[in-house]
């Protein structure tokens, strides 16, 4: 993977947000529609492709790391105003797919990035 200049990285606005509500996206099988307290009066909504790994009810109250300055976009009819960061890895005992397989063919675990202890919603991540 190529290196990027620090100035490019510094353009990312990473923040801590608290999940206020989460529900299945009405028009997408893999997405959750998530309402966040990001420290602003209006909060924000994001759509995250984590439905296969998380029951929406278990996410409420969690503090997650988001990309706050990602350009908003429509995802299957719902606005997404940022991105929740997550890590993914092959599940224990799973082998990598054979060459030529489509991305996602392997069994993966996905874990949203959270903070070690509670902080104020909207706190900057650096």
The two tokens of residue 113 are 């990035």
Q: Tell me the pLDDT tens digit for each residue of 54-102.
A: 999 999 999 999 999 999 999 989 999 999 999 998 777 655 555 555 5
Q: 23 to each of 5, 27, 81, 94, how far by Cα in Å?
A: 38, 12, 16, 29
Burial (0-12, 13-18, 19+ Cβ within 10 Å), 89: exposed
For domain 6-112, the CATH superfamily is: Nucleic acid-binding proteins (2.40.50.140)
Q: Which has the closest alpha carbon to 36: 55, 52, 16, 50?
A: 16
Provide the whole-model pTM.
Answer: 0.85
**Alpha carbons 32 and 84: distance in angstroms, whole number:** 11
């Amino acid at each position: 993977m190529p290196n990027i200049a620090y100035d490019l990285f510094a353009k990312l606005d990473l923040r801590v947000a608290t999940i206020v509500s989460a529900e299945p996206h009405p028009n997408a099988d893999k997405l959750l529609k998530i309402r966040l307290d990001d420290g602003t009066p209006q909060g924000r909504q994001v759509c995250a492709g984590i439905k296969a790994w998380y029951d929406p009810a278990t996410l409420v109250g969690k503090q997650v790391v988001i990309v706050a300055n990602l350009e908003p976009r429509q995802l299957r009819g719902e606005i997404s105003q940022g991105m929740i960061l997550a890590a993914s890895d092959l599940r224990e005992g799973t082998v990598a797919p054979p060459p030529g397989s489509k991305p996602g063919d392997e069994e993966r675990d996905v874990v949203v990035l959270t903070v070690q202890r509670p902080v104020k919603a909207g706190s900057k991540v650096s």
